[in-house]
Chains A and B, each alone.
Chain A
Amino acid sequence: MTILEAKNITYKYGVGTPFQITALDDISFTVEKGDMLAIIGHTGSGKSTLIQHFNALLKPASGQILLYGKDINESRDSARYARFKIGLCFQYPEYQLFESTVYKDISFGPMNMGLDKNEIDKRVRTAAEFVGLTDAMLQKSPFDLSGGEKRRAAIAGVMAMEPEILIMDEPAAGLDPRGRRKILELIKAYREKTGRTVIIVSHSMEDVASVAEKILVLNHGKAAMYGTVDEVFSRAEELREMGLNIPQITKIFSELNKYGFNLSKSTYTVKQAEKELLEYFHKGAPGV
């Protein structure tokens, strides 16, 4: 079932000034319920601009965003409805924390939804558990947490609204490798457990490969490719021209294939590669 549809979205910044730029240019695509979609593109390609359209923070200059077939910009109510159905977690969300305790901060979203106390408490605790924040941490000031913990607290704040679509802008940016891995695993687990639709924005092909099923590639504000991970990564040459790269391990495998090995082309993570290679040697590969 189609949950979200973008129809010919165009958006310009600084209209009528010398700095006018077309950030989005006629973008159309659909998201199915339960999809795990990644939006990738070089810096300034319009990723953040695009996702801000999905909960009516930005209004397209032309085109429509349809949530369950209804235009979200139709009225103020429809925009507010979209804000509760679509949870948007911004780039560096830790800079939006403001409450005296982490608990209160996470409950800010659910409170705005007008839920009752018990429901809020339930949601805050579920979300906190999900991102791995302990009860002790919930009572701390958000400003006393480490960078990675702050990030997780901010994500929990969006998750606690239980949106049908969770959108995250660069959720792993600026974290150390372990922090990155943790966030990505958490997103994967969230998706598996709830079955909800998730959209992530990322620069890193490795990250995308490890979580996403579908990919939308933006290039200078245009939708350059849209398809499954296999379909998109098989067009490595085009990706390179857009300033993007396929995962390193995929590159290594395709190089190996050039030397007569017969390895799978759709290997995107080191884990997959390990499995692949072990099987390959067990079978007694012809090339070795």
Chain B
Amino acid sequence: MIKDITIGQYFPGNSFIHKLDPRAKLIITFAALVEIFICKNFFSLGVVLVFSVASILISRISFKIVMKGLKVIYFIIVLTSLLQIFYNDDGTLLFEWWKLKVTTGGVFTAVFMAVRIFCLILVSSLLTYTTSPTTLTDGLERLLSPLKALKIPVDVLAMMMTIALRFIPTLIEEIDKIMNAQKARGADLESGNLTKRAKALIPIFIPLFVNSFRRAYELAFAMECRCYSGSGKRTRMKVMKMTWRDIVSFVFMAVMLTGIILLNHFFGAVI
């Protein structure tokens, strides 16, 4: 079901990672992604793997949920690794079948890619798992605010993004409700050929659009009633502040970056 997808969902909590400043978290996530990409051998990859798993543990989000959210991604991981196995001809030949050659080099790259994608997903989904959408866009807005000098309306864009994110769960819930209501009227959404199924979507999407427009109008009126205007200089209720946690994390990321570069250098590249 739609509801099983947990990527992008927010799990409230009180851990070290939850408490990080959103700006810091964005920068750290970006740094972590870069560090995962520059890994060249299994030693440095091991370091980022331990880092990714440890971050999940520190965030105290149940590993089971994280794995469930990854379900959709397994397919991509398996596919990329398989391609790598057959694509890479380095190293000694393990076995050959028809035109396909499997070599040690191929197996190494396949495992390497699989672990790398796994780490990428863990780190990036951890960002949304531990940061509420509004905080996240707030952080993004602050990080990008220098762009205002170039006349890019960062705050308006951030507000649009906040609203869009805010309404995703509402829309999912609404789709669920409308689907149930139409099923109760005998709509058959699960059988028939493609055209029939496409037609069956009409009773779902028309009410969804109508309700979304209605909601958008209501929201716009409500915002206008509170004198919202995109350009006004607004202050914040929650002022963001970097704390010792953020400093510690920055230092840690820097140390890890140095470590990875050194490991890459001393143990040679596999990839």
**A residues whose Cβ falls under 8 Å from a Cβ of B:** 16-18, 52, 55, 57, 80, 83-84, 87-90, 93, 95-98, 108-109, 112-113, 143, 157-158, 161
Contact A157 B185 (CB under 8 A): yes
Contact A112 B180 (CB under 8 A): no
Contact B62 A112 (CB under 8 A): no
> Which of B199-207, B216-224, B226-234, B257-265 has 4 or more CB atoms under 8 Å from chain A?
B199-207
Contact A84 B186 (CB under 8 A): yes
Which single residue of chain B is at the shortest CB-CB distance from A19? B11
Q: How far is the CB of A156 from chain B (nearest CB, A)?
A: 11
Q: Does B184 contact A (CB under 8 A)?
A: yes
Contact A83 B68 (CB under 8 A): no
Contact A52 B185 (CB under 8 A): no
Contact B64 A55 (CB under 8 A): no
Across-interface contacts of A98 in B (CB, < 8 A): 202-203, 206-207, 210
Q: B184, B202, B206, B211: which contacts A55 (Cβ < 8 A)?
A: B184
Across-interface contacts of A80 in B (CB, < 8 A): 186, 188
Interface residue total, chain B, C-beta cutoff 8 A: 23
Q: List 24 A-B contacts (CB under 8 A).
A: A16-B65, A18-B62, A18-B65, A52-B180, A57-B184, A80-B186, A83-B184, A83-B186, A90-B177, A93-B181, A96-B178, A96-B207, A97-B207, A98-B202, A98-B207, A108-B203, A109-B185, A109-B186, A112-B186, A112-B187, A157-B185, A158-B185, A161-B185, A161-B186
Contact A83 B183 (CB under 8 A): yes
Q: A96, A143, A161: which contacts B181 (Cβ < 8 A)?
A: A96
Measured CA separation A114–B177 after assembly (Å): 24
Contact B183 A57 (CB under 8 A): yes
| Most chain B Cβ neighbours within 10 Å, of A17, A18, A80, A109 | A17
Across-interface contacts of A95 in B (CB, < 8 A): 177-178, 181, 207, 211
Measured CA separation A18–B9 after assembly (Å): 13
Q: Does B182 contact A (CB under 8 A)?
A: yes
Measured CA separation A80–B68 after assembly (Å): 31
Chain B 166-183 interface residues, beta-carbon cutoff 8 Å to A: 177-178, 180-183
